[in-house]
Each structure stands twice: as structure tokens, then as C-alpha cells.
Chain A
Amino acid sequence: MASHIGSATSRVDGRAKVTGEAKYAGEFNVPGLVHGYVVESTIPKGRIVRIDTSGALEVDGVIDVLTHRNRPQMADKDDAYKDEVATEKGSPYRPLYDDIVLFSGQPLALVLAEDWETARVAASLVKVEYEKAPHITDLHAERANAYAIDKPEKPRGDAERAFASAALRHEAEYFIPTEHHNPMELFASTAIWDNGQLTVYDKTQGVQNVQQYLCSVFKMKPDAVRVMSPYMGGGFGSGLRPQYQVVLAVLAARALNRPVRVMLSRAQMYALGHRPATIERLALGANSDGTLDAMTHEAIAVTSQFEEFARNDTGWGNLLYKSPNAKFEHKLVKLDVPTSCDMRAPGAATGVYALECAMDELAVALKMDPVQLRLQCYSDRDQGADIPYTSKQLRECYRQGAAAFGWDKRTAEPRSMREGSDLVGWGMASGVWEALQMPATVRIVLTANGHAEVATAASDIGTGTYTIMAQVAADMLGLPIDSINVKLGDSTLPQCPLEGGSWIASSVCNAIANTARAVRGDLLKLAIGMKDSPLAGAGVDDVALIDGKIVSKRDATRAVSIASAMQSGNADRITREEANKVAEDKSHARNVHSAIFAEVKVDEQLGVIRVTRVVNAVAAGRILNPKTAHSQVMGGVVWGIGMALHEETLFDHRFGRVMNANIAEYHVPVHADVHDIKVIFVDEPDEIVNPLGIKGLGEIGIVGVAAAIANAVYHATGKRVRDLPITLDKVVQFN
């Protein structure tokens, strides 16, 4: 029956993207557009003594320069700035609010001009005098001042005592540096102010989050603010919170009563938020058979001085491995940097990296195959909550991943596999993430001509939301996919959560199913109202919508065409809006899992590393579209390659500044770095997790990949590198 769900449908927004027709936030060239250019702080901490904007104002074409001194009014209470993702504790940053400098790269002025070129020229004429204050940006230097935060993971047993008496012990620290999302699209907002009505095109993963934020910051009524984000050039978490350019664009639009665009530079985007630098300490105690007796995972991560950002780094071991004794601790260090933020698989990308490297080290100590160790410790229950999973086909991930990779040909000894001047290394790791649903509402408008509009305020940040929604709606409504028009990225559409956390597919698609059922009920009523209706007596769940018809499930010959049902009832359209049902049920753990196998080739003399093969076997419930799902996971693997080998935001702590705030020296993988990536989706029917059995894929692709690569580098070279990225000088001792 389902012909679209599960099929490798090409993206429905593909044509718009390959022809350049898809418009992003900074591409709405409305008449009379004013261009804003940001002047940012060069010091990380202190106070603005003076801003001299006279030089900028003299430039022909400059309209105004906004600073904290002359900006229009904005809210003065913290609560007004607390968006949906804001941290519980702390005061969100307020752009152009006052003279306090909290981090390097903070916006201090906005130059507004008739064209972008003029704004940019004038921006360099703004002179700022500071009163500097002592700053600190180095996690390691501040480590002693780390403080513990409340953690959901409760300790079990006595991990320290069990560790002390364990047959085999592994204890080590791992380090992940600050990383930046670097989506390809520059952050931009276009604010159009028209007689008290505000329309904003914003680069965001949550139009309604931004809409509500703007309403509270500018004290506007909800129906006066509309936020649009039809396309987003990559987010990866950087667009979850409203970013400062949207505030600046709105401030300026209100001040000038004209449309304003503010587009940030790549360098300025390094002050938007980042994956926090994190120190992870693992202490694993094992019995000689490879079962775990003690697991301690501690994390020390960075947050800003003004907000307390923390994600679950340390609880993942509870989801993967049995250990009667366990202890978790999460600490934070406050530094003079922007608040850390979510970045692809926040907490898991870092925490599971450390955990899975530690497991590999334990396997070496036990002289046990790394896959075998995972199977020895395998847990069929969430150890923390002591509940079963809705489904967990991780064993199958290990099996299928290993088979596709050829793991059985691995020789255990490090440096034992060679190919000419290359050392060959094979490593593996596990991955885990959450399978959440959030409340979402979908509106379907079915018209008598057989077309349906399916709408919700989600954003498609490249994940394929447009496409899977069209697929699900086509199946549920019995219409060709070409007859489905998906509308997203508009805050006036029905409520939808942020595009993040891998929850959009499950939330939105289950909402489509509920809405489609309501539409089906309306159609059935119309069909039953027809003279001599073949569907007389049928209930809404006795019929299905197939090929433009309302069809009895028991007897397919009993059917009424949608068109004739609507015609007979004089209905030119049916509009329904329903939400998904988010289970409060805490009886099961809801997770997706993966097993990653990586091959590296390392030049023995020079330490140059190539990731030649990766297999990522994923168990993530129902796969709606193998084509876009494959891309999601493949992209996650590429991120894992970057995390393992390339990515690092370099600070000069003397200046408190990022020194590689560009995409030439902040290295992300390029074409030449990416070779053979195989993605396997393990069959995982799941009738508990949600009605459609969808688990989500946005995060799982990256989780564990850096560990698999790090473990492969160890296997190749015998050198264990515990601080990322693994650059050649860490692999080879050169001097």
C-alpha cells in the first residue's frame, strides 16, 4: 500500500537547489533595501569607552550607525531574551544593549548604508576605544575552577571501589577542542518593516522560536511578526537559537522604517557559538571475560561567563553497556567567550568519542576483539533508567557493519597491517542518540482538484524534510507525490519544533498521519452521504485513501473517488490541522544506534593520514527515504572525519581571540579527504517508539565516527592520540 514511504525519492526541492532558484535569508532583494555591516569587538572583555562613528557617517551613502547609545528601545529583562533553547541559568547576550564587552567578536555597531559595499567601507571607519579587563579563554588554565552541575544520570553501586578492584583497568583523559559549525551559508537576516508589521527572512532552524523571541525583545504582538526561512544553507545547531544579526536587522528596520539586511562575515560567525572544548575522563574497570564492572565518565566543558550551557556528555555509556557500578560527573568552566551551543549530536559526538576510544583501549588491554568486547558488555536495557528499549538492533549493526567492512580479516596487533609505505589501521566504534518526538501540528488542505498542501512551521536545513513530508502525505492521502505541495519555514504555519535533535521526521510525519486521518474522516463522511454509497457503514479506520479514491480495506471494489465525494458534498476544499501524540510513557528507552568501521592508511614516516573506507551501520527504525537518509548519515561520517583529523578552533589566549576564524585555516574535509563511505540501514521495525516507527537520523551519522577513526589510527600506528584533531605531528614523533 505504501508506495512512497521507504522509496528512494529524489528531493522535491532538488530542482530549486540545482537551478539557483531556492532563496536563502540574505537573498531577498526587496526595493529600498538597506544594508547593514557589523563592527565587532577586538577585545574579549571590558567596556566600551567611546565609539566614534563620525568618520563612517561622513561616507556618502551611509544612512546611520547604530550603537548601544542610539539604538531603538529593546526589552530590559533577561526573560525577554530567553528563547526556546536558552540555558536555564544565566542572562542571554543582548546585542548592542550596553557598553559591556563579553567576548571578542561581539557586535558593537551596525553601519547602515544604501549598498553593502558602502556599509563595509564605512564600517572600517568606526573607531572604538576600550577599557580592557583581564580575560581568560583557556579551558586548561581554568580547569581548577570547574564546578559541577546537576546531572540526570544517577550513580549506581560504587564505581570507585569497583574500579580499584577490577581485574583490568583503563583510565584516561580525552580532549575535544572548540569546534565551529561553519555552515556554508553566511548568517543573514532581512527585516521588512511595514506599518507596524514585521516580516523577517532569517537563517534559522526554528522560525517560531525566532518569532517568539522577536516579539518579546521588541514587545510586539505575535500577529505583527512573521519569520520566514524557506531554505537554510546548513545549520548543524548554529541556527537553533536566534542569532544576533536578526536582532540587529530588526532594530535597524524599526529605526529607519525601511527594509534592512544584515549579513555576517565568515569571521564574525566565529562569535555565534561553538561546540565547547571538552575534557573527558573515562575510568573503566573490567572483569577478565570482558564484562564491565565499573564505569566512570567525567566531562569538563566550556561555557560563557553569562550563560550556563551544558549537554549530556557522560550518560551514553548507560545506553550501550552493562556495568553494575557507574558514576557520572559534568563540570563547567566559565570563559570569556560566546556561549557554547548545540553542534551536531551535542554531547554525544564528544562523549561517545571518549567512551568509544576508552572501550578500544580496554579491548587492547583485554586482548579482545573490539567488537567482541562490545557484545560482552551489550545491554538490552537502559542501565540508568533500568527500562527496555522500544527497539535496539545494535547487535545487527555490529554484525552487518563488520561483514560489509570485512572485519574478520583484521589482525589484532597494532602496526600489523601494511601496504607499501602505509600502515593500515582498522578501527570501530558504537554510536547512540535519542529517538525523540516533540509536539508538532500539520495542516493539510485538500482541494477538489486532487492537490494537497501540507504545512507546518518546520525548517528544512538540508535534511530532506520537504521530501519525506511529501512522501508520507502522498501515501496517507492516496495522491501522486507531484500533487503534494509542502510548505515550511514560515512562522505563521502550524506549530512545529525547532529542526534539531533528530526529532523532526518523527514529529512531523506522525502529525501528517493524524491530520490525514482527519481528512480521511471528512472524505468518508462525504462519501457515505452519497446516494447508494458503497462505503455506507464504514468507519474512518475501515477505509484507506489509495490512488485518488476512498477504498474499503476489506473489499477494494468498494470505493469512491475523492473527487466525486467532494463534488457531491459541494466541498471545494477540506482543511484539517492535527498534532502528533507525544507519549509520556517512560516505560521504554527510545534510541537509535550505530556501528562504525573505519580504515585509515597512515604514511609510516610522515604521519599523513587518509581515511580510505568507512562503513556506518545504523539502526534507526523506519527509513522513510533511503536516498536522503543515506546522505544524512554520509554527511555525519564526513563530519566525523573532520572532527577526527581536521577541526580545531585555535585561540590565542593572550588576545582572547580566535586566530583561524576563516574557512581556509579552520580545516573541514574537502573532496580529496573523503573516499569510500558505505551506509547500511539495519531493519528495525518499532511499533512502540511512535505510530510510524520513525527514529530520526540527523545526529547519529557523526556519533562514534571520530572514535572509529582514532581507534583505526592506533591500530595502524600503535600510537594512541587522545586529543583531537589527530594531526600528523601527534601520530609521528618527528624530533
Chain B
Amino acid sequence: MTPFQYARANDVADAIKQIATDPSAKFIAGGTNLIDLIKYDVEGPSRLIDISHLPLRSIEPTSAGGVLIGAMVPNTDLAYHPLIEGRYPLLSRAILSGASQQLRNMASTGGNLLQRTRCFYYYDTATPCNKREPGSGCSAIDGVNRINAILGTSEACIATHPSDMCVALAALEATVHVTGPAGARTIAFADFHRLPGNTPQRDTNLEPDEIITAIELPPKGFSANYSYLKIRDRLSYAFALVSVAAALELDGDTIKEARLALGGVAHKPWRSSAAEAALLGQRADATAFAKAADWLLHGAKGYGHNNFKIGLARRAIIRTLDQAARGTPQSNSDKKIR
């Protein structure tokens, strides 16, 4: 473990100023992933700038009809907030299917977006990993890759993004509010996370000197027809092999709007406009869902141990869309998949 200095940021401007003066510093909020990685010697910041006390803890309706979520809101507070439970239950369910209640109590909304991959090789400093050490090679491609990606991979990296919350945020088309030395800007959720390409060390398009201040949800929450289904190797407290966020707007049994995102399969929550377009105007039935699944999984490729994820994802997509269409979202506590 590398020793680090500790400093507290008083406000957002102070945080930005502090990080600008020390490029090897990192922000810390909940710490659930960063402390873990520091202990494993995967991360070694020279300084941690504590942003957990910044006044970014509110959940407020916006004038546009959406909701603005402060970056420091703990995951549980977000999941159980009446506005979220009532209007964006997909987000609530996705959050509550990740990690444990203790970790959700600690983890911040902004930090959830910045989780690093759980790829075994990223965590094991005795093995090559392009994400940890660019240019050293990807051990997962020919290695133990059951948990790795099937979509959007590159020769440099087949890591997945581990968040559940982000899968729902992707489906809901949230916006990320960030602030940096040049001022504030917003990033569409789809543009926030990156594919690995030749730079797998960069997970997101957030600049190192920028800070996430808020997540904005658009007005549409799909509270009637949604489901979040997470498939994993035990029934709780495990990362997704495949997860699906599905949200539909129905007119009778005709699909007026569809949102579909996959977790556990790519370097970012995986969406496809073609898949969603394929559902528009269709009857909400197995045929339409299967077509959407095929579009969403177009180009999927296995690496050995994870070949099964393609077929699993296809069936999980169909099932989740069915749950959404029926208005019977997957329960977090009752593990039967109805």
C-alpha cells in the first residue's frame, strides 16, 4: 500500500483547486472502491482529497420536470427517496441489487459512476493488465474470463463496468453534471463511460481535474413498465454476470417508447439505438423482444469462459422486457424470476 496525504475540500471550487495542484491526487467520497484498490496496491494516489462533506446531498425536482441528484447522495438515500421510488423505480431497484446495504450506505452517487472494473487481472498486480499498466497486455483475453465483456471489447481490454446503478441511469438517459477549472458542463450518460479501445486505462470522459457534482434525471421515469433483472453466481452480494434494465412506454400492448441497457457485458452500460428502435410500434411480445435482443447483442463475442453470456443475455433481455411489459418488475428480495 502506498501512503497518502489527506486533505479536506471545503467546497467544489476548493476541490477543483486542490486537485489541479496535485495531478497524482484523487478525490474520495464513499471510498468503497478506492480504498479497496489502494489496499490491493492497484491505486496509489499521493493524496486523497475528501469531498464527502461537500454540500451535494440534495435530491430536488428540476424545473424541467426531472430530478437533480447531488453527487454525494449515498446510494441508499437515493434508492429509498420517495421521488425515486415513485417516479424512477427502475433506478431504485438497480441500486438495491448492487453490493450490500453497508456499502450502499457508504457509496456516493458520483462515485458509483467511477467504479473500476472487477476484472481479476486488474486486481492482481502480479499479472499484466493494460488498464492498470498500459502496454503490459491483457491477461483476461486468454485467461479466466468468466466475468469479462462480450461487447465493445478491444484487443487491449475485455473488462466490464461493474455498476448496477449506471445501467439504470443509462436506460433513463441521465445527464452527468461536472465542474472543472474551465467551469461547469454536462455529459450525456451515454457519453460518460468509454469503450476500452487502445486506452483502457481511461474508464470515462471525465477529466482528471473535474468533479461530478450531480446527476440529472429527465422527466420520464417509466414507473409503470420497467424491470431490472440481475443474473449472478449467487443470489445476492455478487457482481452481475449479466444485468438488464428495461423500461417501456405502452399504449395498450403497443410499444411507444423503449429503453434497454445491459450491465456486466461491456466496459460501459450497453445500449443500442437499433434495438430500441426495433421495439417501437411493435406489440409487446416475445417476437419483438427477441428481435430487440438480437440487435442489442449484435457483434457480441465470447472469449472462452464467458461465451455463455451471449445466450444468457439474450434470454435475460427477453425476460426483462416481458416483466416490464407485464408491469411485474423483478423483486430484489424474492429471488424467483417471474
**A601 near B: Cβ within 8 Å?**
yes
**B272 near A: Cβ within 8 Å?**
no
Smallest CB-CB separation from B308: which chain A residue?
A: A729
Smallest CB-CB separation from A650: which chain B residue?
A: B144
**B319 near A: Cβ within 8 Å?**
yes
**B143 near A: Cβ within 8 Å?**
yes
Query: B315 near A734 (CB under 8 angstroms)?
Result: yes
Query: A735 near B234 (CB under 8 angstroms)?
Result: no
CA distance A706 to B308 in the complex (A): 24
Which residues 686-735 in A have Cβ within 8 Å of B in the complex? 727-729, 732-735
Query: B126 near A42 (CB under 8 angstroms)?
Result: yes
Chain B nearest CB, measured from A60 CB (Å): 10
Query: A673 near B120 (CB under 8 angstroms)?
Result: no
CB contacts (< 8 Å) of A655 on chain B: these are: 126-127, 139
**A645 near B: Cβ within 8 Å?**
yes
CA distance A603 to B315 in the complex (A): 11
CA distance A422 to B146 in the complex (A): 25
**B251 near A: Cβ within 8 Å?**
no
Chain B nearest CB, measured from A668 CB (Å): 8
CB contacts (< 8 Å) of A732 on chain B: these are: 311-312
Query: B3 near A121 (CB under 8 angstroms)?
Result: yes
Smallest CB-CB separation from A43: which chain B residue?
A: B126
CA distance A645 to B2 in the complex (A): 38
Query: B231 near A608 (CB under 8 angstroms)?
Result: yes
Interface size (B, Cβ < 8 Å)? 42
Query: B315 near A610 (CB under 8 angstroms)?
Result: no
Q: Which residue in A104, A652, A667 is a CB contact (below 8 Å) of B143?
A: A652
**A287 near B: Cβ within 8 Å?**
no
**A665 near B: Cβ within 8 Å?**
yes
Query: B308 near A734 (CB under 8 angstroms)?
Result: yes
Chain A nearest CB, measured from B37 CB (Å): 12
Query: B234 near A669 (CB under 8 angstroms)?
Result: yes
CA distance A646 to B238 in the complex (A): 11
Which residues 622-665 in A have Cβ within 8 Å of B in the complex? 645-646, 650-652, 654-655, 657, 659-660, 662, 664-665
Query: A735 near B336 (CB under 8 angstroms)?
Result: no
CB contacts (< 8 Å) of A729 on chain B: these are: 308, 312
CB contacts (< 8 Å) of A735 on chain B: these are: 302, 307-308, 310-311
Query: A610 near B144 (CB under 8 angstroms)?
Result: no
Query: A672 near B319 (CB under 8 angstroms)?
Result: no
Query: A673 near B235 (CB under 8 angstroms)?
Result: yes
CA distance A700 to B285 in the complex (A): 50
Q: Which residue in A124, A662, A671 is a CB contact (below 8 Å) of B41?
A: A124
Query: B337 near A608 (CB under 8 angstroms)?
Result: yes
**A605 near B: Cβ within 8 Å?**
yes
**B1 near A: Cβ within 8 Å?**
yes
Q: Which residue in B233, B237, B239, B312 is a CB contact (below 8 Å) of A672?
A: B237
Q: Which residue in A104, A606, A652, A673 is a CB contact (below 8 Å) of B139?
A: A652
CB contacts (< 8 Å) of A120 on chain B: these are: 1
**A421 near B: Cβ within 8 Å?**
yes
Smallest CB-CB separation from B128: which chain A residue?
A: A655
Query: B237 near A603 (CB under 8 angstroms)?
Result: no
Chain B nearest CB, measured from A636 CB (Å): 18
Query: A610 near B235 (CB under 8 angstroms)?
Result: yes
CB contacts (< 8 Å) of A144 on chain B: these are: none
Chain A nearest CB, measured from B150 CB (Å): 11
Query: B231 near A420 (CB under 8 angstroms)?
Result: no
B interface footprint on A668-683 (CB within 8 Å = 1, 0 otherwise): 0111110000000000
Chain B nearest CB, measured from A501 CB (Å): 30
Q: Which residue in A605, A657, A664 is a CB contact (below 8 Å) of B315?
A: A605
CB contacts (< 8 Å) of A420 on chain B: these are: 336, 338
CA distance A193 to B336 in the complex (A): 57
CA distance A664 to B120 in the complex (A): 11
Chain B nearest CB, measured from A677 CB (Å): 15
Chain B nearest CB, measured from A170 CB (Å): 28
Query: B139 near A671 (CB under 8 angstroms)?
Result: no
CB contacts (< 8 Å) of B154 on chain A: these are: none
CA distance A657 to B139 in the complex (A): 12
Smallest CB-CB separation from A670: which chain B residue?
A: B237
Chain A nearest CB, measured from B33 CB (Å): 12
**B118 near A: Cβ within 8 Å?**
yes
CA distance A645 to B338 in the complex (A): 21
A-side interface mostly: loop
In the complex where A124-B2, A657-B127, A672-B236 touch, is A422 in contact with B308 (Cβ < 8 A)? no
CB contacts (< 8 Å) of B126 on chain A: these are: 42-43, 104, 655, 657
Which residues 122-138 in A have Cβ within 8 Å of B in the complex? 123-124
CB contacts (< 8 Å) of A660 on chain B: these are: 120, 144
Chain B nearest CB, measured from A141 CB (Å): 15
Query: B312 near A734 (CB under 8 angstroms)?
Result: yes
CB contacts (< 8 Å) of A601 on chain B: these are: 336
CB contacts (< 8 Å) of B139 on chain A: these are: 652, 654-655
Query: A727 near B144 (CB under 8 angstroms)?
Result: no
Query: A606 near B237 (CB under 8 angstroms)?
Result: no
Query: A734 near B310 (CB under 8 angstroms)?
Result: yes
**B316 near A: Cβ within 8 Å?**
yes
CA distance A727 to B234 in the complex (A): 9
Query: A670 near B144 (CB under 8 angstroms)?
Result: no
Smallest CB-CB separation from A668: which chain B residue?
A: B234
Q: Residue among B144, B231, B307 with the most chain A CB within 10 A?
A: B144
CA distance A669 to B41 in the complex (A): 28
Q: Residue among A121, A664, A733 with the most chain B CB within 10 A?
A: A664
In the complex where A734-B308, A734-B310 touch, is A659 in contact with B124 (Cβ < 8 A)? yes
Smallest CB-CB separation from A674: which chain B residue?
A: B235
A interface footprint on B120-146 (CB within 8 Å = 1, 0 otherwise): 110110110000000000010011101
CA distance A651 to B237 in the complex (A): 22
Query: B144 near A659 (CB under 8 angstroms)?
Result: yes
CB contacts (< 8 Å) of A123 on chain B: these are: 1
Query: B335 near A610 (CB under 8 angstroms)?
Result: yes
Chain B nearest CB, measured from A394 CB (Å): 32
Query: B231 near A728 (CB under 8 angstroms)?
Result: yes
In the complex where A422-B336, A659-B144 touch, is A606 in contact with B312 (Cβ < 8 A)? yes
CA distance A420 to B336 in the complex (A): 10
Chain B nearest CB, measured from A39 CB (Å): 12
Chain B nearest CB, measured from A670 CB (Å): 5
CA distance A3 to B50 in the complex (A): 60
CA distance A121 to B2 in the complex (A): 6
Query: B337 near A672 (CB under 8 angstroms)?
Result: no
CB contacts (< 8 Å) of A121 on chain B: these are: 1-3
Chain B nearest CB, measured from A615 CB (Å): 21
CA distance A659 to B146 in the complex (A): 11
Smallest CB-CB separation from B119: which chain A residue?
A: A659
Which residues 313-338 in B have Cβ within 8 Å of A in the complex? 314-316, 319, 333, 335-338
Chain B nearest CB, measured from A184 CB (Å): 15
Chain A nearest CB, measured from B97 CB (Å): 11
CB contacts (< 8 Å) of B310 on chain A: these are: 734-735
Chain B nearest CB, measured from A662 CB (Å): 8
In the complex where A606-B315, A728-B312, A735-B308 touch, is A667 in contact with B338 (Cβ < 8 A)? no
Chain B nearest CB, measured from A706 CB (Å): 15
CA distance A121 to B308 in the complex (A): 41
Q: Which residue in B234, B311, B312 is a CB contact (below 8 Å) of A670?
A: B234
Query: B336 near A671 (CB under 8 angstroms)?
Result: no
The 10 closest A-B pairs by CB, nearest first: A734-B311, A42-B126, A672-B236, A729-B308, A659-B120, A672-B235, A735-B311, A734-B308, A659-B144, A670-B237
25 residue pairs from A and B, CB less than 8 Å apart? A43-B126, A121-B3, A124-B2, A124-B41, A605-B319, A606-B231, A610-B335, A646-B233, A650-B120, A655-B127, A659-B120, A660-B120, A662-B123, A665-B118, A667-B233, A670-B238, A671-B236, A672-B237, A672-B335, A673-B235, A728-B241, A734-B312, A735-B302, A735-B310, A735-B311
| Chain B interface residues toward A at CB < 8 A | 1-3, 41, 118, 120-121, 123-124, 126-127, 139, 142-144, 146-147, 231, 233-239, 241, 302, 307-312, 314-316, 319, 333, 335-338
8 extra interface residue pairs, beta carbon distance < 8 Å, beyond A104-B126, A645-B234: A605-B319, A646-B234, A650-B144, A654-B143, A655-B139, A667-B238, A734-B308, A735-B308
